[in-house]
Structure 1
Amino acid sequence: MQSVHTDIIQFSGSHYQFGLFQAEKLKNSPIRTHRRALLSKRWRNFLVDEAEVKAAFQTFSPAIWEEIQGLSDGLDMSWNDAIREFGGYYYEYGRSGCSIHTKKDFLVRNYDNAPDSYEGRYVLYAPSDTGYASAGPSMQITGRTDGINEKGLTMGYNFVNRKKSGDGFICNMIGRFILENCATVEEAIQLLRDIPHRNTFSYVLLDPSGKKRIVEVSPRHFFVREGSSCTNHFDALTEENRYRSDESMERLQKIEAKQQAIYSPYEAFRMLNDVDQGIFSEKYGAWAGTLHTALYIPSELSAWIALGGDRQPFVFSFRKWLQGDKLHATKVKGRINATNTFINQ
């Protein structure tokens, strides 16, 4: 078993200031060492056309472009290196699992991946220049794996396929765009329709009205459907699925069978987080072990998170945070049954 933790990052201010703030925290962090090693091993996956990436950011989020500028200045990085490392464009995404279940009043998800891909950063950010405040775990520093924003819109995504990839943004940056720019499920659907996609993913959306949708997206196709549960295969765009989806289908069947007895957010959390329920995964060596279980309640603007299985969630009110009640906690601790640990340690 490995002891792991997520650092809680809290900030209010402009995007450029936020970039500088994060740069200061990253200067002596093991995260930077790991990312430099990754860049050196897989440099071809990080090649970017600066003009193309800038044009895409100017269309979808000029403010996050400023955040990357702050990271570049604060870390004394070349601009091209900063775009490659923090831009979320062209980057090759590794295989992963993930399970999501929604009802009209909550979204709960298991984020499954390899421990040495996980940054261990939970970010609460309230922009002073433009965009909605949001809370959620980070990926590639600027991106988000899931989260909730001040309007109560919550999102998570599930990997489906990385073959036949296209030019475009990857899942975590798209998640950030959704949280910062969209107030409703319909607005998020439109953004997902407009944005260029690098890989093939399902995006699961829920807002305070109780509207929930699953959006199946690839670089070639787009489909919106109703549904309550989602794993790592498409129900509609089946031609985009991997050759073998047996394990994903089995997890989905387990969720669908158990959801009939789920009446509360806590019961849903236990369904995904308890190891003996069969949905939580310990396949860490196959890029498919559960790293965190997160739950969001839009009507309350509350967020839950736990690291590893059979854990009690860390619960906080995002609404109170927005009102100025900052979190006193600096870390969320947990344990995973793996040989590797998170890259923040």
Structure 2
Amino acid sequence: MKPIESQIVQYRGSHYHFGFEQGKALKDSKIIHNRLKHWKIRRPRFQIDIDETKEQFMRFAPQIWDELLGLRDGLEMPLEEVLRDFGGYRVEINRSGCSILTEQDYMIRNYDYHPQTYEGRFNLFQPNDGGYATIGPTSRLTGRMDGMNEHGLVMAYNFTHRKTPEAGFVCYMIGRMILETCRNVEEAKQLLQSLPHRNAFSYILLDPNGETYIVEASPRGVAIRTANVCTNHFEKLTDENRHYLGDSYEREEAINHQRYPNMSADVAFQLMNDRGGSIFADNYKSWSGTIHTSAYFPKEREVWFALGGDAEPTRFNFGDWLNGEDLNRDKMYGEVETELPFAHMD
């Protein structure tokens, strides 16, 4: 078993200064070192157009553009490199797993991916220059893997495919935009229908009203359905699916077979986080091992988060934090059955 950790980052202030402080703190970190090392081995198969990227951010989330400028200044890196590594527009994305179960009062998500992509940062951010306060794990510093905002809107996404990409935002930046700019699922659905999408992903949405929506989004179209279980295939835009979907259907069937009406959150969390069960995955070398399990409670503004499996989650009262009560911890710990390196530790 490999011990892993995630840093808890709390910040209240402007987007620019949030980016700047993160850049300063991470300038000589393993996260930045490993990103630079990556590009020494591989050439990017995409191009960054600064003007085009800025135009899209200014249209949908101008404050996040300010954060990217702050990150540039804190890291003392060229803007083009910051956009390449942390901008989330026109960049590459790798395939992944992931499973999601919802009920009226909660969403529970297994984040299945490759350890080398995981940066071990969990952010609570309350901006004072526009946008909603958010809580959740980060991806490429500026993006969010899953999360909740101050109004109780919850978001997570699942990979479908990355073939025939087009100019657009990738999943983790879209997730951030949803949480920062949308008050409820209706606004989130509208945003997802108007955004340019780089790849094909499902975005799962829940708010205090209790109805779960799954938005199937690709560069070629968007479709919306209601369901309580989502894995890695579309059910409406089926032409977008990959040829082999056996694992995705198996996890969906396993969740549906084991869930039941009014299942408690504790039981549901254990179902998803049980190392010996049929949902938790250990296929880390194949980009589909479970790294974290998260649970979000829109009405209570509560979050549970666990690294690895068979874990007792760390519990956050986001409502209290929004009222000014800072957390008294700065890290979370867990174990994962792999020898592969993590981006923030190795």
TM-score range, shorter chain: over 0.9
1:264 Cα deviation after fit:
1.1
Superposed CA offset, 1:7-48 (max 9, x none): 001100000010111112201210001111123334323521
How does 1:72-91 map onto structure 2 within 5 Å? Answer: 72-91=72-91
Structure 1, unaligned stretches of length 5 or more? none
**Number of the residue aligned with 1:33:** 33
Whether the aligned pair in 2 keeps the contact of 1:262 and 1:268 (CA below 8 Å) is: no
TM-score (norm 1): 0.98
1:75 Cα deviation after fit:
1.1
> What one-letter code is carried by the residue in structure 2 that aligns with 1:40?
K
Separation in structure 2 between the aligned mates of residue 41 and residue 133 of structure 1, nearest angstrom: 37
Superposed CA offset, 1:162-221 (max 9, x none): 001111100000000000000110100000000000000000000011121000011101
Separation in structure 2 between the aligned mates of residue 229 and residue 40 of structure 1, nearest angstrom: 40
Separation in structure 1 between the aligned mates of residue 173 and residue 179 of structure 2, nearest angstrom: 10
Higher mean C-alpha deviation, range 261-270 or range 38-47: 38-47
How does 1:178-189 map onto structure 2 within 5 Å? Answer: 178-189=178-189
Asked whether 1:325 is paired with 2:322, we answer no
1:340 Cα deviation after fit:
1.3
> What one-letter code is carried by the residue in structure 2 that aligns with 1:296?
Y
How does 1:181-220 map onto structure 2 within 5 Å? Answer: 181-220=181-220
How does 1:302-341 map onto structure 2 within 5 Å? Answer: 302-341=302-341
Alpha carbons of structure 1 residues 46 and 323: separation in structure 2 relative to 1, 3 Å = farther
**Number of the residue aligned with 2:48:** 48
Separation in structure 2 between the aligned mates of residue 43 and residue 87 of structure 1, nearest angstrom: 17
Separation in structure 2 between the aligned mates of residue 42 and residue 52 of structure 1, nearest angstrom: 24
Higher mean C-alpha deviation, range 74-83 or range 186-195: 74-83
1:326 Cα deviation after fit:
0.7
SS state at 1:169 partner: coil
Higher mean C-alpha deviation, range 311-320 or range 77-86: 77-86
Structure 2, unaligned stretches of length 5 or more? none
Separation in structure 2 between the aligned mates of residue 151 and residue 325 of structure 1, nearest angstrom: 17
SS state at 2:137 partner: strand
Separation in structure 1 between the aligned mates of residue 152 and residue 342 of structure 2, nearest angstrom: 29
**Number of the residue aligned with 2:259:** 259
1:93 Cα deviation after fit:
0.8
Whether the aligned pair in 2 keeps the contact of 1:144 and 1:173 (CA below 8 Å) is: yes
How does 1:13-32 map onto structure 2 within 5 Å? Answer: 13-32=13-32
Separation in structure 2 between the aligned mates of residue 50 and residue 89 of structure 1, nearest angstrom: 10
Asked whether 1:221 is paired with 2:221, we answer yes
Separation in structure 2 between the aligned mates of residue 83 and residue 43 of structure 1, nearest angstrom: 15
Separation in structure 2 between the aligned mates of residue 259 and residue 340 of structure 1, nearest angstrom: 32
Separation in structure 2 between the aligned mates of residue 67 and residue 288 of structure 1, nearest angstrom: 30
Superposed CA offset, 1:200-247 (max 9, x none): 000000001112100001110110001000000111111111000011
Query: RMSD value over aligned CA atoms?
Result: 1.0
Superposed CA offset, 1:284-343 (max 9, x none): 000000000000000010011101110010001000011111111111100000111321
Whether the aligned pair in 2 keeps the contact of 1:154 and 1:205 (CA below 8 Å) is: yes
Separation in structure 1 between the aligned mates of residue 256 and residue 181 of structure 2, nearest angstrom: 31
Alpha carbons of structure 1 residues 261 and 338: separation in structure 2 relative to 1, 3 Å = farther
Separation in structure 1 between the aligned mates of residue 294 and residue 330 of structure 2, nearest angstrom: 18
Whether the aligned pair in 2 keeps the contact of 1:101 and 1:108 (CA below 8 Å) is: yes
> What one-letter code is carried by the residue in structure 1 that aligns with 2:274?
D
Whether the aligned pair in 2 keeps the contact of 1:39 and 1:46 (CA below 8 Å) is: no
How does 1:102-117 map onto structure 2 within 5 Å? Answer: 102-117=102-117
Higher mean C-alpha deviation, range 35-44 or range 23-32: 35-44
> What one-letter code is carried by the residue in structure 2 that aligns with 1:176?
R
Separation in structure 2 between the aligned mates of residue 207 and residue 53 of structure 1, nearest angstrom: 30
Separation in structure 1 between the aligned mates of residue 142 and residue 46 of structure 2, nearest angstrom: 15
Separation in structure 2 between the aligned mates of residue 197 and residue 38 of structure 1, nearest angstrom: 24
SS state at 2:315 partner: strand
1:261 Cα deviation after fit:
6.1
SS state at 1:197 partner: coil
Separation in structure 1 between the aligned mates of residue 227 and residue 213 of structure 2, nearest angstrom: 6
Identity rate, percent? 47
**Number of the residue aligned with 2:244:** 244
Question: How many residues matched?
Answer: 345
Separation in structure 1 between the aligned mates of residue 46 and residue 140 of structure 2, nearest angstrom: 12
SS state at 1:89 partner: coil
